[in-house]
Amino acid sequence: MIKNREYCKYTYLHRKALEYYIKKNILLTWEEKDLLLERVRIHDMDKMLLYFFWEKEAASKYHREYSSHHLTKWKDYSYYDLLESIFDYECAALTKPDKPLNAYDTVLKYYSEFSEDYLPILKRLDMDSSYLAVSEKDKEFIGQFNPTEEDILRELADYLLETHDELYNKLWDKLCSKEEYVAFKELLWML
């Protein structure tokens, strides 16, 4: 049984929603869409991996501090960090009942210190007003997924292959022991 299984499932669904919202947006340029979809491949995967070894709160805290799409006044961010965070906020209402706001309302309520950077992008994407971020079609889309433990483990295996153990190499024993990590990877490769 996966530790923090429900949080892993929640993150899995959120990643599917993020990809869907990016793909359905007709105002993104092809270059923006391609680069965002590339970023989606690892979006929140550090957090999902951490859920296997840490408690939810510690994993979420680490993720918010070190992921480029979580803006803080203490770290630099790029245009694509802003775009990724906008779609992260926009799709949250679809999979996170505790986060019902659209991107515009989320920015105004929680990230107003960055509104100078966010608002021109939101305006260009016609997302600069209050509205319901979830349609019936969106609910139908996400309703087709019911991630199993195997689905979650496959995503983690892909993430580890793509990042070459980057997170473990950064955290070492703060993540888990080398033996635990090797056993975990062996489990993933058996899928």
pLDDT digits over 16-73, tens only? 999 999 999 999 999 999 999 999 999 999 999 999 999 999 999 999 999 999 998 8
Note down the domain range covering 65: 5-145
Q: What percent of the chain has pLDDT over 90?
A: 74
pLDDT digits over 70-98, tens only? 998 888 999 999 999 999 999 999 998 88
Residue at 152 is within a domain: no
Q: Structurally, how many domains does the chain consist of?
A: 1
Residue at 191 is within a domain: no
Q: What is the pLDDT of residue 1?
A: 59
Residue at 188 is within a domain: no
Residue at 168 is within a domain: no
Q: Is the pLDDT of residue 154 over 70?
A: yes
Residue at 153 is within a domain: no
Q: What is the pLDDT of residue 27?
A: 97
Q: Is the pLDDT of residue 191 over 80?
A: no
Residue at 66 is within a domain: yes
Q: What is the pLDDT of residue 173?
A: 83
Q: What is the pLDDT of residue 77?
A: 94
HEC string of the chain?
A: CCCCHHHHHHHHHHHHHHHHHHHHCCCCCHHHHHHHHHHHCCCCHHHHHHHCCCCHHHHHHHHHHHCCCCCCCCCCCCHHHHHHHHHHHHHHHHHCCCCCCCHHHHHHHHCHHHHHHHHHHHHHCCCCCCCCCCCHHHHHHHHCCCCCHHHHHHHHHHHHHHHCCHHHHHHHHHCCCHHHHHHHHHHHHCC
